[in-house]
Amino acid sequence: MYELENISWSWMFLLIVLISIFFIIDRVWKNRTQKSFFSKTNLERLSPNISDIKPILKIITVIVGISMLIIALINPKIGTKIETFQRLGVDIVFAIDVSKSMLAEDISPSRMDKSKQLVGQVINNLGGDRIGIVAYAGKAFPQLPLTTDYSSAKMFLQNMNTDMLSSQGTAIDEAIRLSSTYFDEDESTERILFIVSDGEDHNDLTYDMADLAAKNNITIYSIGVGTEKGSPIPIKKNGIVMSYKKDINGDVVITKLNKTYLENISDKTGGKFIEGSITKDVVQEVIQILENTEKKEFDTQKFSEFEDQFQWFIFLGFLFIIFDLFMRW
């Protein structure tokens, strides 16, 4: 495990970009100037030791040296000791719908992007809770097991999209079944499942799975993403809408938020439906739910000691710069 102490210094990598740009401009200008006064044959006679490779090697040496010094300023640290300690929290699983209907743009910027935004903001407001992530469409697929590593959770979250699962549909029953396996049977932590979806599912097994979840003390809260008016499903190429998804009769498919269906699933476990159109309101309601939930103690591990590594980068930086100064290019 590592951490970056002074990430604010990373803007200095712009110097590397500027140096590279000036080098390219200088090389182009010199080549044009030489060609305007000398032919290639005469230039080789006048300067037999001239080399096109040496200036490139020189600039690479300078860039690497400066880069090492910038990294030294940022000061990467490596974790050297892991400690186990007690945390108070709740076990939370987010089951996120990645079916094609989530491409609909009746909620800005799209149902998929809105879902990721909502979950990401909730994660930013968590404290000692463990979180897991499940993706589902026609089938459910595990993304992240229960963890307190929120950085990894957000990384997995941002990589989710509607192309990650080949089987299409919206099998909420599969999402509930898989999410239930995330929770430890031998622990008494509160178990909460957030289903983030437009609710377009016509599988009768979902209600049965919700009943089973309730028996296992899992409370399901559903976050509805989309509008009841509905919207067509765009088919894009390079970010441009080419057409809209059509059914077997050639009619444009209109996908709608099935609020009642999501409400019924949540009601079976003592949870509730949350309107997902306004991010701020959703985050506040979710945090309120978690604050009102009894928290339990559980063990977690974390790197407690980190050692500075800047000295190695200072050494490498000066080594490259000294090499450049003393090397006869």
Same domain, 154 and 245: yes
Same domain, 64 and 157: no
Q: Is the peptide bond before 234 cis (omega within 30 degrees of 0)?
A: no
Residue 27 domain-assigned? yes
Same domain, 109 and 183: yes
pLDDT at residue number 111: 96
Please name the residue ranges forming H helices in 98-230: 111-124, 150-158, 172-180, 205-215
Residues in the chain: 329
Task: Specify the range with the lowest mean pLDDT, choosing from 7-11, 79-83, 149-153, 315-319.
Answer: 79-83
Read off the tokens for 122: 């909730």
Average pLDDT (231-249) is 88
Same domain, 90 and 67: no
Same domain, 231 and 134: yes
For 46, other C-beta atoms within 10 Å of its C-beta total 9
Amino acid at the residue 21: I
Same domain, 70 and 125: no
Collapsing DSSP to helix, strand or coil, 97 comes out as strand
Residue whose token pair is 């974390």: 302
Read off the tokens for 86: 């007690």
Task: Specify the range with the lowest mean pLDDT, choosing from 126-130, 141-145, 193-197, 220-224.
Answer: 126-130
Q: Using CA atoms, how far apart are residues 284 and 275, in angstroms rounded to an integer?
A: 12
Helix H or strand E encompassing 150? helix 150-158
Same domain, 64 and 107: no
Average pLDDT (141-146) is 92
Collapsing DSSP to helix, strand or coil, 126 comes out as coil
Average pLDDT (309-322) is 90
Q: Using CA atoms, how far apart are residues 205 and 72, in angstroms rounded to an integer?
A: 57
| CA separation, residue 120 to residues 96, 185, 290, 309 (Å) | 12, 27, 16, 31
What domain count does the chain have? 2
Cα separation of the two ends of the chain: 40
Residue 1 confidence class, pLDDT cut points 50, 70, 90:
low
Residue 80 domain-assigned? no
Same domain, 24 and 65: yes
Read off the tokens for 37: 């006064």
Q: Using CA atoms, how far apart are residues 88 and 90, in angstroms rounded to an integer?
A: 7
Secondary structure letter of residue 294 according to DSSP: P
For the domain that residue 143 is a member of, what is the CATH number?
Answer: 3.40.50.410
Q: Using CA atoms, how far apart are residues 318 and 324, in angstroms rounded to an integer?
A: 10
Mean of the per-residue pLDDT values of the chain: 86
Same domain, 56 and 114: no
Q: Longest Cα pair distance anywhere in the chain, in angstroms? A: 90
Tell me which residue range forms the domain holding 16: 2-75+309-326
In the 3-class helix/strand/coil scheme, how is 213-231 assigned residue by residue? HHHCCEEEEEEECCCCCCE
Amino acid at the residue 135: A
